[in-house]
């Protein structure tokens, strides 16, 4: 199977060294909550909860190289300013060497500030200069890059159109890489792709490919024309057009294109997806992997990135786990250790977590409606499922009617359920401590004051919601009906 083959190929990328040359920036994320309109103007009021800083642009490419198992050599320009200081600190925290960066007092560090509320970007504010960097300063940066090219396995040009990646500078990098027989991968910008001539592969998205070729890509014919035109323009072996949810299309000289379908995932934020794709491609090229395998892995890595809010990298383990041959439902079933990591990530992205628990022994309409209503309260629904031993203690013989692995898979197959975790205790207290949900949901006619877990939920700032049952729909009723009609 393809997944097991790709998993073996993935092991080859570990430790590969990639030089990243391009536009470096600081990404500032202002996390907030919005629940009112300003009395001064028809705009929302954002209550800021925290501000975080991470490397953006070529810095995010370098971070993806690192988290995917490689070693990045980051060469670029930063200002001698407070944003530059924060950027260097962010790189150090991640473990990315900043010694190849050039500081300059005349150009400010590029800063992109994103205001985020309830997992959505509200506004982005850019502070930057786009003018071409002076010849003198370019020469200094290029010298650092060229001196490292012979020591690496691949080279990335991360072009955000912010002044460093001029035609002259790109050609210096490409010629040096070709001299040392290193693959050069370009994430392009603008409409003049002649400046990338001689690169191994370029990775425009649909919009970028349309702009560069002046061809409308709204059909397969348009896609093929654009891909062929780009191949001729840059005189390179490969062009990879990324197509969002439709996947990727690889164009090759004198060969049929390869179309790789998209991987269905819940999309939260496309920020930095292109950085993840080119980082994965560079590591794959470094290892001598077949181009088709490299594109499959890049497609998978990009699909993982879009499930994350804001500028976040993809980790080797995440990609490896995604290649396990499982059906989509079984991928939702997690153990406690896995759940801890998932919850950590969800919380860092300000996602509202909904938690519920139960036996769910013989799933029926009441369960389905209840779970759908619970999911609508927040962004992610986590279900704690009583184990067989736990159900036996709570319900007695002959329960459960269905074993836990079947109950878990049935639950996971529901669109409303994001994760399922099995627990052995009679009560879900320990799971609640891990999840710390915004909403803890119970189904039935409970009084909140009588629920034993109310204090734990309240301690973590959560709210208990009781959803009334669907009349006449219960596991007991189903079993009694089966018994009463048996033998008829």
pLDDT of residue 139: 94
pLDDT of residue 488: 54
Structure tokens, 227? 């891909």
The residues of the chain scoring below 50 in pLDDT are 1
pLDDT of residue 454: 87
Known active-site residue 275:
yes
Domain spanning 2-322, CATH class: alpha beta
Whether domain 330-485 has CATH 3.40.50.620: yes
Q: Is 205 annotated as a binding residue?
A: yes
Q: Is 488 annotated as a binding residue?
A: no
pLDDT of residue 486: 58
Q: Is 357 annotated as a binding residue?
A: no
- Is the peptide bond between 12 and the residue preceding it cis, with omega within 30 degrees of 0? no
Catalytic, out of 153, 275, 300, 418: 275
pLDDT of residue 72: 97
User: Tokens 């079984």 belong to which residue?
Assistant: 330
Q: Is 373 annotated as a binding residue?
A: no
Beta bridge partners of 241: 249
Structure tokens, 444? 């039935």
Domain boundaries along the sequence of the chain: 2-322, 330-485
Dump pLDDT digits (tens) for 407-465. Answer: 899 999 998 999 999 999 988 999 999 999 999 998 876 788 878 888 899 898 999 99
Per-residue HEC secondary structure of the chain comes to CHHHHHHHHHHHHCCCEEEEEECEEEEEEEEEEEEEECCCCCCEEEEEEEEEEEEEEHHHHHHHHHHCCCEEEEEEEEECCHHHHHHHHHHHHHCCCCCCEEEECCCCCEEEEEEEECCEEEEEEEECCCCCCCHHHHHHHHHHHHHHHCCCCEEEEECCCCCCCCHHHHHHHHHHHHHCCCCEEEECCCCCHHHHCCCCEECCEHHHHHHHHCCCCCCHHHHHHHHHHHHHHHCCCEEEEECHHHCEEEEECCEEEEEECCCCCCCCCCCCHHHHHHHHHHHHHHCCCCHHHHHHHHHHHHHHHCCCCCCCCCCHHHHHHHCCCCCCCHHHECCHHHHHHHHHHHHHCCCCEEEEEECCCCCCHHHHHHHHHHHCCCCEEEEEEECHHHHHHHHCCCCCCCCHHHHHHHHHCCCCCCEEEEECCCCCHHHHHHHCCCEEEEECCCCHHHCCCHHHHHHCCCEEEEECCCCCCCHHHHHHHHHHHCCC
φ and ψ at residue 134, rounded to 5 degrees: -60, 155
pLDDT of residue 372: 93
Residue closest to 180 by CA, chosen among 147, 139, 144, 138: 147
pLDDT of residue 1: 40
pLDDT of residue 345: 67
């Amino acid at each position: 199977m393809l997944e097991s083959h790709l998993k073996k190929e993935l092991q080859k990328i570990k430790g590969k060294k990639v030089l990243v040359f391009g536009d470096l920036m600081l990404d500032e994320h202002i996390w907030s909550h919005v629940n009112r309109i300003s009395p001064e103007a028809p705009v929302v009021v954002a209550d800021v909860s925290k501000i975080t800083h991470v490397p953006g642009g070529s810095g995010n490419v370098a971070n993806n190289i690192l988290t995917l198992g490689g070693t990045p050599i980051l060469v670029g320009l930063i200002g001698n300013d407070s944003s530059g200081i924060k950027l260097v600190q962010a790189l150090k925290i991640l473990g990315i060497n900043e010694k190849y960066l050039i500081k300059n007092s005349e150009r400010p560090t590029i800063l992109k500030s994103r205001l985020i509320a309830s997992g959505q970007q509200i506004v982005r504010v850019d502070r930057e200069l786009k003018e071409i960097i002076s010849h003198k300063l370019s020469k200094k940066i290029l010298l650092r890059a060229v001196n490292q090219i012979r020591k690496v396995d691949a080279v990335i040009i991360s072009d955000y159109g912010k002044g460093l990646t001029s035609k002259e500078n790109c050609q210096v990098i490409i010629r040096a890489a070709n001299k040392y027989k290193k693959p050069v991968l370009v994430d392009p910008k603008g409409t003049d792709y002649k400046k990338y001539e001689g690169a191994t592969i370029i990775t425009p998205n649909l919009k970028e490919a349309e702009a560069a070729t002046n061809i409308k890509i709204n059909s397969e014919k348009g896609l093929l024309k654009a891909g062929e035109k780009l191949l001729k323009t840059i005189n390179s072996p490969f062009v990879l057009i990324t197509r969002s949810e439709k996947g990727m299309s690889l164009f090759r000289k004198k060969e049929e294109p390869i179309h790789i379908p998209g991987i269905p995932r819940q999309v939260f934020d496309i920020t930095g997806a292109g950085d993840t794709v080119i980082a994965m491609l560079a590591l794959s090229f470094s290892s001598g992997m077949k181009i088709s395998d490299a594109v499959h892995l890049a497609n998978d890595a990009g699909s993982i990135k879009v499930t994350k809010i804001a500028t976040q990298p993809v980790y080797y383990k995440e990609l490896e786990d995604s290649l396990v041959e499982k059906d989509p439902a079984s991928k939702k079933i997690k153990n406690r250790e896995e759940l801890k990591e998932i919850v950590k990530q969800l919380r860092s992205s300000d996602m509202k977590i909904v938690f519920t628990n139960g036996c769910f022994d013989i799933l029926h309409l009441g369960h389905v409606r209840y779970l759908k209503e619970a999911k609508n309260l927040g962004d992610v629904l986590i279900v704690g499922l009583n184990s067989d031993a736990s159900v036996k203690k709570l319900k007695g013989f002959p329960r459960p009617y269905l074993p836990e692995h079947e109950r878990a898979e049935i639950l996971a197959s529901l669109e409303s359920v994001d994760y399922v975790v099995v627990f052995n205790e009679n009560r879900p207290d320990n799971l609640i401590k891990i999840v710390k949900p915004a909403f803890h949901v119970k189904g039935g006619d409970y009084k909140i004051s009588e629920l034993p877990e109310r204090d734990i939920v309240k301690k973590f700032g959560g709210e208990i919601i009781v959803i009334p049952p669907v009349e006449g729909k219960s596991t007991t009723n189903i079993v009694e009906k089966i018994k009463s009609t048996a033998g008829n």
